[in-house]
Amino acid sequence: MDQRVTLRSHLDRSAAQMPHGTAVGNVVEAIAAAAVELAAVIADGPLAGITGQNAGINSDGDRQKDIDIVADEMMRRALCAAPVAAVFSEEAALPETLRPEAHLCVAIDPLDGSANLENNISVGTIFSIRPRGHDLLSTFFEPGTAQCAAGFTVYGPQTTLVLALNARVDIFILDRRAGEFLLTRQAVQIARSTPEFAINASNRRHWHGPVRAYIDECLAGTNGAGEADFNMRWIGSLVAEALRILVRGGVFLYPADARPSYREGRLRLLYEAHPMALVMEWAGGAASTGRRRILELGAKTPHQRVPLIMGSARGVRDVAAIHEGIEPMFDNSDAPLFARRGLFL
Ligand code: FBP
């Protein structure tokens, strides 16, 4: 059997090539070790006492499952033992100080998509690592370009770790017997223009004009102005959608829409959109709100939401092009206005 590179040796090799490389490697390793533990609990589910039932409401008003709390405890414990100055978890109200003298800060969604678990659909942990600034709290409000590493795991048929480090993206799979992650795809490059999109189409009536126009063009395919017939996928689990995009391209949209609580979309900037945007860009793809590059945005509040359009460079560019020159105040007007703009440039 061929000798695969382990996560540890990959991290050691990268350490010399980046500032705080050893510390970043230790943080990634801590998250990966907790992910191995979490993957086992998720795989056992009810057999490990996980009911999948609601266990309360977190500080930002989201429903928590019992597994969200278990995942948060596991990740937090792992990060307490790593060189982390402060951690900001989806499950907490505010960032927490761990080791004030350390050089790195971590934002983390310990278990994204937990509502899918009862149905045995893939879920995952999303993380973002950035060097600490003078003031610990304000570190988290820097734009996403401040991130020095990011990634996510997928707890699915395989346990996968996607790692954006040193301006490249690599994919590892957990060898369950050895309990370690092994490199399976190196320097991943997202296909530039796969005709595939992912969006929760049940929200169509709430979408703004540019999004409706883009999706209508995709659905029209070669019967409309498009050069290709599009395929559609919607898993409803961000990590699974992101992994699919890395493997075969396409575009994912969770846009803002007209519902009062979706004016900024659904997904969170610090521990969902920022890390996904870094992964996408370092793999040759793109991530945008439709109007702005995600990595240029800084959060104004810890749990800030943001519209997220990510994936193949061409798909993201097409969505951005249809927004161009349209003032946000006209977003809600009729789709034909946008459809005339010539989507597929
Ligand atoms: P949580 O943050 O509550 O885990 O939800 C996130 C998420 O499940 C994403 O993984 C997914 O992309 C999105 O919500 C699906 O949202 P919706 O149910 O509105 O389609």
Query: Which value, in Å, is the radius of gyration of the alpha carbons in the chain?
Result: 20
CA neighbor of 240 nearest in space, from 228, 252, 232, 223:
252
Query: Residue 246 in contact with residue 278, Cβ under 8 Å?
Result: no
Distances (CA, A) of 314 to 251, 288, 341: 9, 12, 16
Residue whose entry in the numeric block shows the structure tokens 């409309």: 224
Q: Is the pLDDT score of 335 beyond 60?
A: no
Distances (CA, A) of 69 to 89, 243, 280: 11, 24, 28
- pLDDT tens readout for residues 105-124: 999 999 999 989 889 999 99
* 3-class DSSP state of 337: helix
The total of other beta-carbon atoms located within 10 Å of residue 3's CB is 6
- Domain 7-185 sits in CATH at 3.30.540.10
List, edge to edge, every strand of the sheet that includes 96-97.
96-97, 84-89, 104-112, 124-131, 149-155, 159-165, 168-175, 180-185
The mean pLDDT value for 80-89 works out to 98
State the alpha helices, DSSP H only, in the chain: 7-15, 21-44, 66-80, 136-139, 209-220, 238-248, 274-282, 313-323, 335-339
CA neighbor of 113 nearest in space, from 20, 238, 224:
238
For ligand 1, pick from 60, 232, 251, 266 the residue to mutate: most ligand atoms within 8 Å of CB. 266
Pairing type for strands 124-131 and 149-155 reads antiparallel
Q: Which CATH class is domain 196-339?
A: alpha beta
The two structure tokens encoding residue 26: 């230790």
The mean pLDDT value for 68-87 works out to 97
Does residue 122's CB lie within 6 angstroms of at least one atom of ligand 1? no
Distances (CA, A) of 68 to 38, 121, 176, 228, 321: 11, 15, 23, 40, 38
Residue nearest to atom 4 of ligand 1 (CA): 113
For ligand 1, pick from 237, 253, 259, 269 the residue to mutate: most ligand atoms within 8 Å of CB. 237
The mean pLDDT value for 5-10 works out to 97
Does residue 236's CB lie within 6 angstroms of at least one atom of ligand 1? yes
- pLDDT tens readout for residues 298-313: 999 999 999 999 999 9
The mean pLDDT value for 20-37 works out to 97
Does residue 268's CB lie within 6 angstroms of at least one atom of ligand 1? no
Does residue 264's CB lie within 6 angstroms of at least one atom of ligand 1? no
Q: Is the pLDDT score of 74 beyond 50?
A: yes
Band the pLDDT of 330: cuts 50, 70, 90.
low
**Ligand 1 atom showing the smallest separation from residue 240 Cα:** 10
Does residue 237's CB lie within 6 angstroms of at least one atom of ligand 1? yes
CA neighbor of 309 nearest in space, from 293, 298, 332, 325:
293
Domain ranges of the chain: 7-185, 196-339
Q: Is the pLDDT score of 332 beyond 60?
A: no
Cα–Cα distance, 35 to 298 (Å, whole number): 28
pLDDT score, position 336: 47
Dist. CA 254 → ligand 1 center (Å): 9
Mean per-residue pLDDT of the chain: 93
Label residue 231 exposed, middle or buried (CB < 10 Å: 0-12, 13-18, 19+). middle
Cα–Cα distance, 278 to 30 (Å, whole number): 20
- pLDDT tens readout for residues 189-245: 999 999 999 999 999 999 999 999 999 999 999 999 888 999 999 999 999 999 999
User: pLDDT exceeding 70 applies to what percent of the chain?
Assistant: 93
pLDDT score, position 63: 74
Dist. CA 18 → ligand 1 center (Å): 33
- pLDDT tens readout for residues 141-173: 999 999 999 999 999 999 999 999 999 999 999
The mean pLDDT value for 98-108 works out to 97
Cα–Cα distance, 55 to 43 (Å, whole number): 20
Cα–Cα distance, 81 to 26 (Å, whole number): 10
- For residue 127, what are the β-bridge partners? 108, 151
Residue nearest to atom 16 of ligand 1 (CA): 236
